[in-house]
C-alpha cells in the first residue's frame, strides 16, 4: 500500500513508496515560504513489490524479453530484390540482465535493436517477440535511448530531468515525490556534481560528453521502464566515460530488475566485462548469442583462441569482419560459416531450450499479454501536457539566444537600416515610391528573416521526437505549446521593429495606425513562423530546411504585389498572388498608412499654361495641388483592399500551416 508520511515541523519528512523504499526530505522555512530540500539517504527499490508505475502505465512486475526467428527484410527499389538486414535471430534477456549487441559496421546492430523495440515497419518483419513468454507490444513497457543526446542545452541537468519527471509521472505523484525521484536518478548516475550545470550550447559551455550522455539516459529511464533499449550509448565517449555510463546502467538494471539491451560498437575490456549476455551479428546473421563469459570458450571450440591480454570484443570483431575481403563470395562464405556453426552448436540448443522454458513457465502462471489494452499511453491529459511543455518552452525561449533573442537583435538592426535609409520621406509626390518601398521591405525582410528560428526549432524537435517515441506526450500538445510560446515573442519582435522604424520613416503619424502596424506585422510573422515549423518538420535537416524556407519566402516576395503590380501579374501566376501571405500583410500595412493622408503634387514653373501642378495620382488636370492616399491605391491597382477580411485570411493561413505542421509530425512513424 502506497502511503506518504508528512509532518509540518522541522523534522525530516519521510516518503515511503513501499516497504523497501525510504526517501528522506528535509523541510526548512524561508522568507518566501516552504522550500523543500531533497536528500536521498537510502533508496532500495524492489520493483516486484513496488506500487511505482512507469510512464506507460503498466504494472511494475519485471518483464523478460525473448525473440525467435526474427527477420527484417527490405526491397531494393531498382532490382526488386529483398535483402535481409536481420536474418532469423533468436535470443532472450531476463530481468536484471544487460545484453550487448556487437558486430562490425553494417552488421545489423541498430536494425535488430529497432526491430526488438518495435520501431521498424511491422509489415517488413517476421518472427515472434515474447514479453514474459507471451506475444506482446514492446513499446508499451520499454523506453528507447537514442544515440543522439536530445536535451535542452540551456536548461540544467536537473531541469531537463525534472521536466521529464513532470511529463511522465502521473498527477497522483506530488511535487516532492517527483523531486525525490529526480534526485535519486541524479545520484544513481553520478550527476550530483553537475546537477545544476547547463547542458551546453554553441554559446554556453556545458557538461562533458559523458555527463551529457548520462543526463540523456536519466531523462528516459526516470520511470524505471521494464525494458530499456540503448542505441550505442558509448558512441563518441572515451574509454573511462564509456565505462562509467555502462556501469551506471548495469547497476540500475541490477537494483530494479530491468531488462536492458544495448547495441555497442567496440567496448573496452572493462566495459565489455560489465555485460551479462552477448549477441554478435555479421551481415544480419547471428554468430553468437549467449552468456558473455562463455563466448571465449565457444570461439575456442571453433579454433579461434583469444590471445592472452587482449580484449575479447576486439578479437571477436576482427574474426567476423569481412568488409575488407575483396572476394564477395568469400566474404559471404566467411559469415555463413560462423552462422552455421552457431546454429548447430550446443549454445544455440541451450538458447532455444531457455526460450521454450520461458514460454511454458508463463503459460502455467497465466501471465497477461502486454498490449495497448492493458496499458495507458500518457500519464496526463491534453491540457496538462500542453501546460508543462509551455513552461519548458518558455524557459528555453528566455535563455536560448537562437530561439528569439538573436532574431530580435536582427530585426531591430533591420529596422534601423530601413529607418535610416528611408529617413523622414515626407508627403511629396516624389516620395511615394520610397514610402511603398519601406513598407514592402518591412514585410519581405521580416518574413525572410524567420529562417533564423530554424536552429532553435530543430533542437526542440529532437527532444520532441525522443519524448514522443517514449510515450511522454502526443503531437497535439507539442504543436499547441510551440504556437502559444511564439505569440508573445513575435509581438516583442513586431513592437521592437516598429519602435525603431515607424517614426524614423515618417509613416502615418497617428497612434492608432502605429498600433495597427504592429498588429499587421505580427500577423505576417505569425504566418512566417508557422511556415518555418511546417517546412522544418518535413525536412529536419538544417541546411536543407534553410534553403527551402529561403526559396519559399523569395517566391512569396515576387508575388506580393509590389515588384509586379497586381494588375500586371500574368494569369498563370495569379494563384500565387492570392495565396501569398505577404500580399495580405503588405496590402493591409499599405492601406493603414495611406488612407486619410494627403500628398503634395509637383508644382510647375511654366506660368503660360493653365496647368499649375503635375499630379501622377488623383486629379491630373493640373489644377489640384494635392491628392489622397486612396488616389495612390487606385492608381497602382491596390483596389478592393479589405483590412478586416485580410486579417481573417492571415489568421486562417497561420492556422492552416500549424495544422499542416501537426499533420506532418502526426504521420511520421517511429519506424523507418
d(CA 55, CA 567): 59
Question: pLDDT class for 210, splitting at 50, 70, 90?
Answer: confident
- Whether residue 557 contacts residue 448, with contact meaning beta carbons closer than 8 Å, is answered with yes
The grid cell for 262 is 544495448
Residues 269, 272, 274, CA angle at the centre, nearest 5°?
A: 120
The grid cell for 212 is 551529457
Say which residue the cell 560459416 belongs to.
Answer: 337
3-state secondary structure at position 231: strand
What is the number of residues in the chain? 672
**What mean pLDDT comes out for the span 201-221?**
86
Mean pLDDT, all residues of the chain: 84
Distant-in-sequence, close-in-space partners of 517: CB < 8 Å, separation ≥ 6: 498, 502, 507, 589, 592, 593
Q: What percent of the chain has pLDDT over 70?
A: 87
d(CA 556, CA 570): 15
- Whether residue 478 contacts residue 665, with contact meaning beta carbons closer than 8 Å, is answered with yes
Question: pLDDT class for 10, splitting at 50, 70, 90?
Answer: very low
Q: Specify which residues 277 forms β-bridges with.
A: 99, 291
3-state secondary structure 450-503: HHHHHHHHHHHHHHHHHHHHCCCCCHHHHHHHHHHHHHHHHHHHHHHHHHHHHH
Domains of the chain with bracketed CATH: 65-374 (3.40.50.300), 385-594+642-667 (no CATH)
Tell me the per-residue pLDDT of 241-254, one tens digit each, with 9 for 90 and over: 889 889 989 998 99
Query: Which of 8-12, 126-130, 558-562 is predicted with the least confidence, judged by mean pLDDT?
Result: 8-12
φ/ψ (deg, to 5) at 345: -85, 165
> Does the model's pTM come out above 0.85?
no
Tell me the per-residue pLDDT of 149-183, one tens digit each, with 9 for 90 and over: 888 888 999 999 999 999 988 888 888 999 999 99
Q: What percent of the chain has pLDDT over 90?
A: 48
Amino acid at each position: 500500500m502506497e502511503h506518504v508520511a508528512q509532518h509540518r515541523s522541522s523534522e525530516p519528512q519521510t516518503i515511503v513508496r513501499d516497504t523497501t523504499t525510504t526517501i528522506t526530505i528535509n523541510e526548512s522555512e524561508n522568507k518566501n515560504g516552504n522550500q523543500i530540500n531533497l536528500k536521498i539517504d537510502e533508496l532500495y527499490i524492489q520493483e516486484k513489490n513496488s506500487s511505482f508505475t512507469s510512464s506507460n502505465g503498466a504494472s511494475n512486475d519485471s518483464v523478460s524479453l525473448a525473440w525467435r526467428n526474427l527477420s527484417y527484410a527490405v526491397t531494393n527499389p531498382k532490382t526488386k530484390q529483398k535483402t535481409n538486414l536481420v536474418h532469423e535471430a533468436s535470443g532472450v534477456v531476463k530481468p536484471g540482465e544487460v545484453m550487448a549487441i556487437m558486430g562490425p559496421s553494417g552488421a545489423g546492430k541498430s536494425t535488430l535493436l529497432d526491430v526488438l523495440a518495435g520501431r521498424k515497419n511491422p509489415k517488413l518483419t517476421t518472427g515472434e517477440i515474447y514479453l514474459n513468454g507471451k506475444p506482446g507490444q514492446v513499446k508499451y513497457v520499454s523506453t528507447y535511448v537514442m544515440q543522439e543526446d536530445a536535451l535542452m542545452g540551456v536548461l540544467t541537468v536537473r531541469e531537463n530531468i525534472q521536466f521529464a519527471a513532470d511529463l511522465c509521472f502521473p498527477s497522483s505523484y506530488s511535487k516532492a515525490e517527483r523531486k525525490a525521484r529526480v534526485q535519486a536518478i541524479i545520484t544513481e548516475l553520478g550527476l550530483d556534481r553537475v546537477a545544476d550545470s547547463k547542458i551546453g550550447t554553441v554559446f554556453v559551455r556545458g557538461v562533458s560528453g559523458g555527463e551529457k550522455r548520462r543526463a540523456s539516459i536519466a531523462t528516459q529511464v526516470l520511470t524505471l521502464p521494464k525494458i530499456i533499449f540503448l542505441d550505442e550509448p558509448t558512441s563518441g565517449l572515451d574509454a573511462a566515460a564509456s565505462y562509467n555510463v555502462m556501469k551506471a546502467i548495469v547497476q540500475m538494471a541490477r537494483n530494479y530488475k530491468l531488462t536492458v539491451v544495448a547495441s555497442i560498437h567496440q567496448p573496452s575490456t572493462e566495459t565489455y566485462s560489465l555485460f551479462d549476455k552477448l549477441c554478435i551479428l555479421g551481415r544480419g546473421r547471428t554468430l553468437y548469442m549467449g552468456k558473455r563469459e562463455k563466448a571465449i570458450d565457444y570461439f575456442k571450440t571453433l579454433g579461434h583462441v583469444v590471445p592472452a591480454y587482449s580484449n575479447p570484443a576486439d578479437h571477436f570483431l576482427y574474426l567476423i569482419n569481412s568488409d575488407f575481403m575483396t572476394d564477395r563470395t568469400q566474404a559471404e562464405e566467411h559469415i555463413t560459416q560462423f552462422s552455421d556453426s552457431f546454429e548447430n552448436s550446443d549454445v544455440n540448443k541451450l538458447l532455444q531450450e531457455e526460450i521454450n522454458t520461458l514460454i511454458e513457465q508463463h503459460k502455467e502462471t497465466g501471465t497477461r499479454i502486454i498490449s495497448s489494452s492493458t496499458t495507458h499511453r500518457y500519464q496526463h491529459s491534453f491540457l496538462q501536457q500542453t501546460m508543462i511543455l509551455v513552461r519548458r518552452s518558455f524557459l528555453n525561449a528566455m535563455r536560448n539566444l537562437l530561439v528569439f533573442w538573436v532574431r530580435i537583435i536582427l530585426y531591430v538592426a533591420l529596422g534601423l537600416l530601413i529607418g535610416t535609409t528611408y529617413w523622414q520621406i515626407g508627403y511629396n509626390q516624389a516620395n511615394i515610391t520610397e514610402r511603398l518601398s519601406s513598407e514592402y521591405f518591412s514585410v519581405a525582410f521580416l518574413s525572410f528573416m524567420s529562417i533564423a528560428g530554424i536552429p532553435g526549432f530543430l533542437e526542440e524537435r529532437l527532444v520532441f521526437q525522443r519524448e514522443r517515441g517514449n510515450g511522454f506526450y502526443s503531437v497535439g500538445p507539442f504543436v499547441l505549446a510551440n504556437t502559444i510560446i511564439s505569440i508573445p515573442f513575435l509581438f516583442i519582435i513586431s513592437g521592437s521593429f516598429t519602435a525603431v522604424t515607424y517614426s524614423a520613416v515618417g509613416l502615418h503619424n497617428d497612434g492608432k495606425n502605429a498600433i495597427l502596424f504592429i498588429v499587421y506585422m505580427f500577423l505576417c510573422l505569425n504566418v512566417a513562423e508557422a511556415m518555418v515549423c511546417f517546412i522544418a518538420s518535413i525536412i529536419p535537416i538544417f541546411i536543407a530546411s534553410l534553403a527551402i524556407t529561403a526559396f519559399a519566402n523569395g517566391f512569396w516576395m515576387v508575388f506580393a504585389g509590389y515588384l509586379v503590380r497586381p494588375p500586371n501579374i500574368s494569369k498563370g501566376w495569379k494563384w500565387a498572388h492570392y495565396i501569398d501571405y505577404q500580399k495580405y500583410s503588405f496590402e493591409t500595412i499599405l492601406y493603414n498608412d495611406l488612407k486619410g493622408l494627403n500628398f503634395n503634387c509637383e508644382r510647375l514653373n511654366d506660368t503660360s499654361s493653365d496647368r499649375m501642378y503635375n499630379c501622377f495620382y488623383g486629379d491630373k488636370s493640373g489644377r489640384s495641388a494635392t491628392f489622397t492616399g486612396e488616389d495612390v491605391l487606385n492608381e497602382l491597382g491596390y483596389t478592393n483592399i479589405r483590412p478586416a477580411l485580410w486579417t481573417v485570411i492571415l489568421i486562417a493561413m497561420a492556422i492552416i500551416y500549424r495544422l499542416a505542421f501537426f499533420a506532418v509530425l502526426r504521420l511520421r512513424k517511429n519506424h523507418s
